[in-house]
């Protein structure tokens, strides 16, 4: 009844029109504040948690492959360490340096992942398992290096290294890859949710903006007819301000939307892909050292090397003895025509 009374009089109708415009006007800044707070939270979570967790996992995967390759290189370049004969001093020193660097990277990554996984039981369990397996792996490598320092103990060192690399391939690397996938999936869910919220907010902003401009225009027409005035300067100014505010708000939503996409799809996805490719390349490099170090497993390491080569650059029908030639042909064709 009160609404009917307001609509029944001119002052009442003007008050209702003013209330509608005020509510629509207030809704826009409130929506912008909510959207800005949501975007800020998303960026903070991405920069402080999601991206670092995923990057730590990719570094762990990469360093594990590098550490095993350097272990093989140490054993290859040491000669008969117990007899002090045949050591390749430069290669031996470099391999030891790279080994320690990879060891430190793994330790830092595990600490970072342990801190970041608090409250996530599945990830915590994976990190704990990785830490335990890494300790066992270091024990096996340490035993191999200790045996290698004794006279005529190369076979024993080789056997310990074989156990270490089996542990790496059977448990450590699969766990590290699962950790990369799990953290990347969490980031992907956060990204999808943030983009969904932003899409909804952008649509709501467009609806509110159109309603506000329409209300101001209709009020201008109503006043012009009712009071026989062609223009109302205040309403014209308010309408122009509303149009500018709506356009700027839409631009802000669009820029935020695009930057989220760039950060995730155009930047972070390529980092993950490159890190995975690099880890595969390091593992393939380790297969070359393992091939030289362990003659009894040469067939296995040949097959493993070819498989990793195909993961990096698959060539249909290429075998180990034809892969290089086919790779050269494929790359030459690509250079002639980048659309091929």
pLDDT tens-place string over residues 271-290: 788 888 888 888 898 899 89
209: Cβ–Cβ under 8 A, 6 or more apart, which residues? 28, 242, 245, 246, 249, 250
Burial class (CB in 10 A: 0-12, 13-18, 19+), 60: buried
What is the average per-residue pLDDT within 202-224? 78
88 is written with which tokens? 């390749």
pLDDT of residue 44: 65
Q: Which percentage of the chain shows pLDDT scores above 70?
A: 88
pLDDT of residue 136: 94
pLDDT of residue 126: 85
Cα–Cα dist 68/78, whole Å: 16
The yes-or-no verdict on residue 191 having pLDDT over 60 is yes
Q: Which of 275, 280, 283 is nearest to 70 (CA)?
A: 283
160 vs 37, residue with greater confidence:
160
Cα–Cα dist 333/337, whole Å: 6
- If DSSP codes are grouped into helix, strand and coil, which group holds residue 279? helix
CA 8 to chain centre: 61
What's the residue count for the chain? 340
240 vs 106, residue with greater confidence:
106
Q: Are 295 and 309 in contact (CB under 8 A)?
A: no
The yes-or-no verdict on residue 163 having pLDDT over 90 is yes
- The string of pLDDT tens digits covering residues 248-263 is 877 877 877 777 777 7
- The string of pLDDT tens digits covering residues 7-57 is 556 666 667 766 777 777 777 777 777 777 777 776 666 666 667 777 788
Looking at every residue in the chain, the average pLDDT score rounds to 81
33 vs 93, residue with greater confidence:
93
Tell me which residue has tokens 């903070």: 44
- From residue 80, alpha-carbon distances to 96, 148, 157, 204, 248 in Å are 16, 7, 11, 74, 73
């Amino acid at each position: 009844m009160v609404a009917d009374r307001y609509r029944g009089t001119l002052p009442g109708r003007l008050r209702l029109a003013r209330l509608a415009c005020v509510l629509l006007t207030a809704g826009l800044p409130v929506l912008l504040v909510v959207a800005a707070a949501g975007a800020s939270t998303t960026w903070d979570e991405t920069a402080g948690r999601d991206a670092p967790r995923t990057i730590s996992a990719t570094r762990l995967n990469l360093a594990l492959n590098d550490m095993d390759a350097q272990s093989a290189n140490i054993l290859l370049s040491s000669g008969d360490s117990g007899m002090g004969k045949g050591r390749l001093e430069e290669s031996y020193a470099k391999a030891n340096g790279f080994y320690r660097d990879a060891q430190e990277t793994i330790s830092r990554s595990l600490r970072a992942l342990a801190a970041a996984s608090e409250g996530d039981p599945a990830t915590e369990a994976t990190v704990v398992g990785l830490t335990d397996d890494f300790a066992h792996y270091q024990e096996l490598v340490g035993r191999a290096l200790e045996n290698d320092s004794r006279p005529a103990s190369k076979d024993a060192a080789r056997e310990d290294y074989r156990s270490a690399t089996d542990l790496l391939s059977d448990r450590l690397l699969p766990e590290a890859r699962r950790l990369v996938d799990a953290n990347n999936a969490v980031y992907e869910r956060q990204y999808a949710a943030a983009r969904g919220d932003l899409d909804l907010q952008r649509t709501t902003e467009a609806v509110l903006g159109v309603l506000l401009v329409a209300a101001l225009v209709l009020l201008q027409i109503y006043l012009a007819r009712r009071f026989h005035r062609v223009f109302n300067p205040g309403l014209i100014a308010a309408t122009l301000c509303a149009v500018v505010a709506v356009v700027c708000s839409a631009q802000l939503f669009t820029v935020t939307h695009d930057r989220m996409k760039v950060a995730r799809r155009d930047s972070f996805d390529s980092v993950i892909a490159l890190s995975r490719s690099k880890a595969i390349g390091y593992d393939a490099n380790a297969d070359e050292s393992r091939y030289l170090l362990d003659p009894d497993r040469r067939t296995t390491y040949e097959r493993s090397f070819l498989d990793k080569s195909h993961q990096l650059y698959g060539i249909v029908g290429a075998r180990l003895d034809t892969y290089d030639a086919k790779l050269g042909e494929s790359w030459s064709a690509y250079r002639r025509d980048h659309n091929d």
